[in-house]
Amino acid sequence: MPSEAQDSDARTPYQLPIPADALEEIVIAKAIPDDERIWVPQAENVSFRPLCLNRSQGYWMNLLRVRKSGVLSRHRHPQAVHGLVLKGRWHYLEHDWVAEEGGYVFEAPGETHTLVVPDDVEEMITMFQVNGVMLYVDPFGKTVGYEDVFTKIDMCREHYEKVGLGVDYVDQFVR
Ligand code: FE
CA of 54 to the centre of ligand 1 (A): 18
How far is ligand 1, taken at its centre, from the CA of residue 3, in Å? Answer: 50
CA dist., res. 131 & res. 77, Å (int): 8
Confidence of residue 82 (pLDDT cuts 50, 70, 90): very high
Q: What dihedral do alpha carbons 134, 136, 140, 141 form, nearest 10°?
A: -30
Domain of residue 100, CATH code: 2.60.120.10
Q: Place 72 in a pLDDT band, splitting at 50, 70 and 90.
A: confident
pLDDT the model gives residue 28: 97
CA of 169 to the centre of ligand 1 (A): 26
In a domain, 36, yes or no: no
Kindly give the distance from the C-alpha atom of residue 36 to the centroid of ligand 1, in angstroms, as a whole number: 24
Question: Is residue 37 included in any domain, yes or no?
Answer: no
Q: Which of 3-12, 99-108, 110-119 has the lowest mean pLDDT?
A: 3-12
pLDDT of residue 86: 98
**143-148/40-43 β-pairing:** unpaired
The residues with which 143 forms a beta bridge, in sequence order, are 137
**pTM (2 decimals)?**
0.93
Neighbours of 52 (CB within 10 A): 17
User: Is residue 123 in some structural domain?
Assistant: yes
Query: What does 96-136 look like in DSSP terms, one character per residue?
Result: S-EEETT-EEEE-TTEEEEEE--TT-SEEEEEEEEESEEEE
Q: How far is the CA of 172 from the centre of ligand 1 (A)?
A: 25
Ligand 1 centroid to residue 116 C-alpha, Å: 11
Question: Phi and psi (nearest 5°) for 6?
Answer: -75, -20
pLDDT band with cut points at 50, 70 and 90 for residue 4: low
Burial (CB count within 10 angstroms: exposed 0-12, middle 13-18, buried 19+), residue 3: exposed
Report the domain count for the chain: 1
8 found inside a domain: no
Q: Domain residues for 94?
A: 43-173
What would the pLDDT profile of 125-161 be if each residue is shown by its tens digit? 999 999 999 999 999 999 999 999 999 999 999 999 9
Residue 70 is predicted with a pLDDT of: 84
Q: Is residue 2 part of a domain?
A: no
C-alpha 14 to ligand 1 mean position (Å): 39
List phi, psi (to 5°) of 156. Answer: -65, -45
pLDDT at 68 over 80: yes
Query: 6 lies in a domain?
Result: no
Q: Is 102 inside any structural domain?
A: yes
Specify if 84 maps to a domain.
Answer: yes
Q: Is the pLDDT of residue 18 over 80?
A: yes
CA of 76 to the centre of ligand 1 (A): 7
